[in-house]
Amino acid sequence: MKQANRPFPCARSECGLTLIEQLIIMFVLALLVRVALPSYQVYTKRPIINAAQQDLIRMAAALQANSFEKSLSLPNTSGYVLVPALPASRTLGTQASDFAGWQPTQGAKFNYSASSSSNATLLAFTVRASSTQAGILPTSCVMDLRWSAASGAYARTASAGCGFTSW
């Protein structure tokens, strides 16, 4: 059968997409990526942060069980003392005894430190996790877990760099 007066040598469904149609598809795909990427980044970051929070809870429990419950006092520190993630890296003394049995799961992504004071008016400690890998989490992400004997409760805070302020 002869094709009369057709502008294209093939049927419309056989020719493919025009340049305008391809540009519209690329634009829609770019919008989808722009909307989905932040959600995906939060989705991949959240398990790491949850594991670090659990590490802080276990760290606080180790300090409370190994120091406070045995002697009803805490070591006095001036500022935060870095606690190495690997028990073999800890020096003998307070780090080895205060955090015995504690090993973080996120030791490669966070630095853990502790600060405590024990005197007649204040008995409290704070354990802290600070992110170290800029590619996964902002290095400004700092989570604190504070305990005070006066209140007997824990207070949980986080810096704005974590994407949340309390946990």
- For residue 6, being part of any structural domain is answered with no
**Is 27 domain-assigned?**
no
Domain region containing 76: 47-162
Closest CA to 110 of 44, 56, 43: 56
Q: Write down the pTM of the prediction.
A: 0.69
Q: Tell me, yes or no, whether 78 lies in a domain.
A: yes
Domain assignment present for 40: no
Q: Give the pLDDT score at 97.
A: 65
Q: What pLDDT is attached to residue 94?
A: 60
Give me the number of domains the chain comprises: 1
**Minimum mean pLDDT range among 2-11, 34-43, 87-96, 131-140:** 2-11
- On whether residue 19 sits in a domain, the answer given is no
* Per-residue pLDDT tens digits for 58-95: 888 888 887 777 777 677 777 788 888 888 787 766 66
90 part of a folded domain: yes
Q: Is 39 part of a structural domain of the chain? A: no
Show the 3-state SS of 151-162: CCEEEEEECHHH
36, pLDDT greater than 80: yes
Classify 25 as helix, strand or coil.
Answer: helix
